[in-house]
Chain A
Amino acid sequence: MHFTDLGSVALILALVFALYAIAGSVLGAGTQRPALVASGRRSALVVAALLLLAAAALVCAFLTRDFGARYVAEHSSRAMPWYYTAAAFYGGQEGSLLYWALMLSLFTALAVLLHRRAPAPLMPYVVAVLMAIESFYLIVLNFVSTPFARLQIVPQDGSGLNPLLQDPGMLVHPPMLLMGYMSFSLPFAFAVAAMITGTLDSGWLRAIRRWMLASWSIQTTGLLLGMWWAYHVLGWGGYWGWDPVENAALLPWLTATAFLHSSMVQERRGTLKVWNLGLIIASFALSIFGTFEVRSGIISSVHSFAYSDIGPYFLVFLGIILFVSIGLFVYRLPRLRPEREFDSVISREGSFLGNNLLLTGIAFATFWGTVFPIIAQVVRGQTMTVGPTFYQQVNGPLFAALIFLMGIGPLLAWRHASWTSVWHNFRWPALVAASAAVLLPLIGVRSVWADIGDTVCLFAAATVLYEVWRGVRVRHGHGEAYPRALGMLVSRHRERYGGYLVHLGLVVLALGVIGSQFYQTQAEGTVARGHSLTLDGYALTYLGVTDTTQSGVEVIQTYFRVSQGGHTIEQIAPGERIFAGFPSQPTSIVSITSQRLTDLYVFLAGYNGSATATIRVFVNPLVSLVWYGGLVMLTGGIFCWWPGRRRTARLAERAPQLVEVPA
């Protein structure tokens, strides 16, 4: 009896219970038998328990170094510390599929428990859809790509984990991103359930918005961690390479962001129902597309260690999802007519439409650039790559327009904004931005694109701050001290001010991107001992090298003295790690020195004992702002999502029912 046997049994049982949950929920809802529905709901909970058991079995197999299990033998070795051994759980395909399935089952259980009092007709179908997705993963896990297969001959030691994955960033980045992908299932399940039952009321919209906000926050975290990891490990001085796999992760994030905005129009004005459903379906389909793309290896990418042959299964699954949801969508189309009309383009809803056009435009451009090589291959037999230049030239201006709109949108009135109010709201922020546009070239912003970008960012930031200031001033006028006024204002309108915080975060991030994109400088060279390489006022003097081996990992570190204007700032030690069993795949130790938002980034390209070392040096201005901005965005997202007080619910009750429940 091995842990893997326990895992196999748990996976088979999980599939049985998942299928029962689908049947019980659908039949129970169709024949009005609450007991049957309840049994379906409970078996969804059982699925979660079984998957927890399966995951625990796999982790135990890893920690007990059971190399008779093929997955364990292929993804770990005795030399690895326990935390990387446990994390190897999602280090390969089978394990990451199991992780995905586990997270989906846990989120399903959470949804079942949280929405106990949700509208009776909706939940059975939500459970059924989630369990249908779960079943797909369980079928793959049981019959195609099982993590619990055993080897005929038990090896003495495993072959170890890909060195790139043996990094602290890898402990958190893949699980976050996989969880993000998975989490788009929940809004999708609610959307499909609503289309089946025809219940698209405000309660439904609220539930779906909260799940989408959660997905958005998780995906944001995953993307940021990915950027952080790329910056600290890959050694090319950047954090986002428009790699096909990065793009795949960005796509559902873009459509989810679009939904979070356009659903506000549905909440307030009752329109855009069709569009919003489309965005939810697109987000989920894109998350499955992302998984397919990573797994199939049809596109060349730095993430190529994940390739395998299960791509076709995902393609079929994607086809089924699109077929079913588009079918339902067309079937429900007559019910989804807007009930209110649209007054003017110069209004909040008008700006949301613009926002959606831009976000879906960026999403399309990104998707197009990602799949175009496949199209070219099929149509012309031509191999090609689509690299950062394409995305920078196409998406750059779209992002700038988006940030500009982000400055305007929140200050326009719903329905129809008069020119007087536009003037009133925007004169000070516009003046701040205009002054910045004129002054920035004087402090060295000489590129016109960087100046336009910075101006747009500062305009957006100024409108948000001006808006907050006016809110605070009104409360201050009622006798509240400024700090308290700010606190009350923000805590009473969580969603709005959380949203503003996300906007401010994005502005900060964008300033960081502009700074590091337009003003990065670099040098590359071989330095003899005692000699220096200079870049942008920094001088790096080569001091020597050390080579140590600790628990199977050889660590090579070269030492440089960094000085600026004759003063020594720091001694740095860029180097590389060579893991036992992977002599040809060293991972780099990048040295990053942050000073007043500017990073000195040093990558060791090669060395010849203590005599010479070859390094690549980058000076990345403002790159710290990318991380700070990202953190602010994330904080804002969580702030929006955080359960509010009863008042929110009370206000929501007043919101109109958008579509009547069919009798």
Chain B
Amino acid sequence: MRWQVLLRQRSFLIALGVLLVVGTVWTALAIGSARPKSLDQRVYEVAAQLQCPVCNGESVASSPSGTAEVMRQVIRQKLQLGMSEQQVIAYFQQSYGDTILESPPKQGFTLLIWLGPLVMLLAGLVLLVTVVREWQPAAAQLPAAGDAPGRVSEDAYGEHVLSESELRQLADVLRRELAAEEGLPPAVGKESA
């Protein structure tokens, strides 16, 4: 079994352990309490989700116009009165309609805009997998060198597989040729041994 071979390898276990630790940290961060936000920060976050009604393509947070400034003050007042961010946004949505939202809501017709990229990405992935399958040599997967310790002497193409010592000799030749190509003298360190 492939996974049993994997499990016996030290490298795999180390990688798994590291992944676990990192995963734990990220999960802790995700569910842990965020730093309490200042009022300014909350005003800004709400304002960033509202479109400035008198500007071209600027949010209430980014627009320097007077209207945006007044709207930011309204947001501040409403938040101070104890309304939640969602409630303040809903308030503006009620008085101005959906056009006040800086990005369209994830429901109804405008859900399309959010789904579009996702669908295309999946379609691209499917296309890629199909094409790659088609391009792959008829004789299924190549066995990865060094994956299986007790490997056979022929690979999937029925070609002779080199022994370790043959491989080492060829690697030496290759290294010498590459060094010559690079204009380097032969190695002086342990690699020449």
A residues lining the B interface (CB < 8 Å) = 234-238, 241, 243-244, 271, 299-302, 304, 338, 341-346, 350, 353, 357, 360-361, 364-365, 368-369, 372, 376, 380, 382-390, 394, 398, 416-421, 423, 427, 430-431, 434, 437-438, 441, 446-448, 451-452, 455, 474-475, 477-480, 488, 492, 521-524, 535, 588, 603, 605-606, 614
Q: A302-B57, A342-B135, A384-B110 are in contact. Are A368 and B117 (CB under 8 A)?
A: yes
* Interfacial chain A residues near B179, Cβ < 8 Å: 478
Chain B residues 150 to 193 lying within 8 A of chain A, measured CB to CB, are 179, 182, 184-191
- In angstroms, Cα B112 to Cα A369, docked, is 10
Chain B residues 49 to 88 lying within 8 A of chain A, measured CB to CB, are 49, 51, 55-59, 61-64, 69, 72
Give the shortest distance, in Å, between B6 (CB) and chain A (any CB): 9
Give the shortest distance, in Å, between B45 (CB) and chain A (any CB): 10
* Interfacial chain B residues near A342, Cβ < 8 Å: 132, 135-136
Q: Assuming A361-B124, A384-B99, what are 17 further A-B pairs, CB within 8 angstroms?
A: A237-B62, A299-B57, A343-B142, A364-B121, A365-B117, A368-B113, A369-B113, A385-B51, A387-B51, A390-B104, A421-B146, A446-B34, A477-B188, A477-B189, A522-B41, A535-B40, A614-B69
User: Which 5 interchain pairs have the tightest Cβ spacing?
Assistant: A236-B62, A387-B102, A342-B135, A365-B117, A420-B146
B187 touches A605 (CB 8 A): no
A300 touches B57 (CB 8 A): yes
A236 touches B58 (CB 8 A): yes
* B22 located at the interface, meaning its Cβ lies under 8 Å from any Cβ of chain A in the complex: yes
* Interfacial chain B residues near A364, Cβ < 8 Å: 116-117, 120-121
* Interfacial chain B residues near A480, Cβ < 8 Å: 184
* Interfacial chain B residues near A398, Cβ < 8 Å: 121
* Interfacial chain B residues near A418, Cβ < 8 Å: 144-147
A416 touches B144 (CB 8 A): yes
* B44 located at the interface, meaning its Cβ lies under 8 Å from any Cβ of chain A in the complex: yes
Q: A236-B64, A345-B132 are in contact. Are A376 and B51 (CB under 8 A)?
A: no
B56 touches A302 (CB 8 A): yes
* Interfacial chain B residues near A357, Cβ < 8 Å: 121, 124-125, 128
Most chain A CB atoms below 10 A, which of B55, B109, B113, B187: B113
B117 touches A524 (CB 8 A): no
A343 touches B51 (CB 8 A): no
* Interfacial chain B residues near A430, Cβ < 8 Å: 15, 18
- In angstroms, Cα B145 to Cα A488, docked, is 32
B105 to A, closest residue via Cβ: A384
- In angstroms, Cα B191 to Cα A296, docked, is 65
B49 to A, closest residue via Cβ: A389
- In angstroms, Cα B167 to Cα A418, docked, is 15
- In angstroms, Cα B72 to Cα A301, docked, is 21
Give the shortest distance, in Å, between B24 (CB) and chain A (any CB): 9
Chain B residues 1 to 51 lying within 8 A of chain A, measured CB to CB, are 11, 14-15, 18-19, 21-22, 25-26, 29-30, 32, 34-35, 38, 40-41, 43-44, 48-49, 51
B58 touches A448 (CB 8 A): no
- In angstroms, Cα B103 to Cα A390, docked, is 6
B residues lining the A interface (CB < 8 Å) = 11, 14-15, 18-19, 21-22, 25-26, 29-30, 32, 34-35, 38, 40-41, 43-44, 48-49, 51, 55-59, 61-64, 69, 72, 98-99, 101-104, 109-110, 112-114, 116-117, 120-121, 124-125, 128, 132, 135-137, 141-142, 144-147, 179, 182, 184-191
A389 touches B103 (CB 8 A): yes
- In angstroms, Cα B55 to Cα A304, docked, is 10
- In angstroms, Cα B11 to Cα A455, docked, is 21
Give the shortest distance, in Å, between A276 (CB) and chain B (any CB): 14
Give the shortest distance, in Å, between A164 (CB) and chain B (any CB): 12
Pairs A–B under 8 Å by Cβ, sample size 19: A236-B58, A236-B62, A236-B63, A300-B57, A341-B137, A343-B142, A353-B128, A360-B124, A365-B120, A385-B57, A389-B48, A418-B146, A421-B146, A430-B15, A437-B22, A441-B25, A441-B29, A524-B40, A535-B40
- In angstroms, Cα B117 to Cα A394, docked, is 8
B59 touches A388 (CB 8 A): yes
A361 to B, closest residue via Cβ: B121
- In angstroms, Cα B57 to Cα A299, docked, is 9
* Interfacial chain A residues near B58, Cβ < 8 Å: 236, 241, 302
B56 touches A389 (CB 8 A): no
A344 touches B142 (CB 8 A): yes
A444 to B, closest residue via Cβ: B35
Which of B72, B104, B146, B191 touches A524 (beta carbons < 8 Å)?
B72
Give the shortest distance, in Å, between B174 (CB) and chain A (any CB): 13
Q: A342-B135, A387-B51, A431-B18 are in contact. Are A446 and B57 (CB under 8 A)?
A: no
* Interfacial chain A residues near B182, Cβ < 8 Å: 475, 488, 492
B191 touches A385 (CB 8 A): no
A522 touches B113 (CB 8 A): no
Which of B61, B102, B117 touches A236 (beta carbons < 8 Å)?
B61
B25 touches A451 (CB 8 A): yes
B184 touches A475 (CB 8 A): yes
* Interfacial chain A residues near B99, Cβ < 8 Å: 383-385
Which of B55, B187, B190 touches A478 (beta carbons < 8 Å)?
B187
Give the shortest distance, in Å, between A387 (CB) and chain B (any CB): 4
Q: A341-B137, A343-B136, A343-B137 are in contact. Are A388 and B146 (CB under 8 A)?
A: no
A416 touches B188 (CB 8 A): no
* Interfacial chain A residues near B104, Cβ < 8 Å: 372, 384, 386, 390
- In angstroms, Cα B61 to Cα A522, docked, is 11
A521 touches B26 (CB 8 A): no
* Interfacial chain A residues near B186, Cβ < 8 Å: 478
Give the shortest distance, in Å, between A133 (CB) and chain B (any CB): 29
* Interfacial chain B residues near A235, Cβ < 8 Å: 64
Which of A238, A419, A492 touches B62 (beta carbons < 8 Å)?
A238
Give the shortest distance, in Å, between B29 (CB) and chain A (any CB): 4
* Interfacial chain A residues near B101, Cβ < 8 Å: 384-385
Q: A357-B124, A448-B29 are in contact. Are A478 and B61 (CB under 8 A)?
A: no
* Interfacial chain A residues near B135, Cβ < 8 Å: 271, 338, 341-342
Give the shortest distance, in Å, between B80 (CB) and chain A (any CB): 14
B26 to A, closest residue via Cβ: A448
A492 to B, closest residue via Cβ: B182
* Interfacial chain A residues near B69, Cβ < 8 Å: 605-606, 614
* Interfacial chain B residues near A477, Cβ < 8 Å: 187-191
Give the shortest distance, in Å, between A574 (CB) and chain B (any CB): 12
- In angstroms, Cα B145 to Cα A54, docked, is 65
Most chain A CB atoms below 10 A, which of B19, B55, B144: B144
* Interfacial chain A residues near B43, Cβ < 8 Å: 524
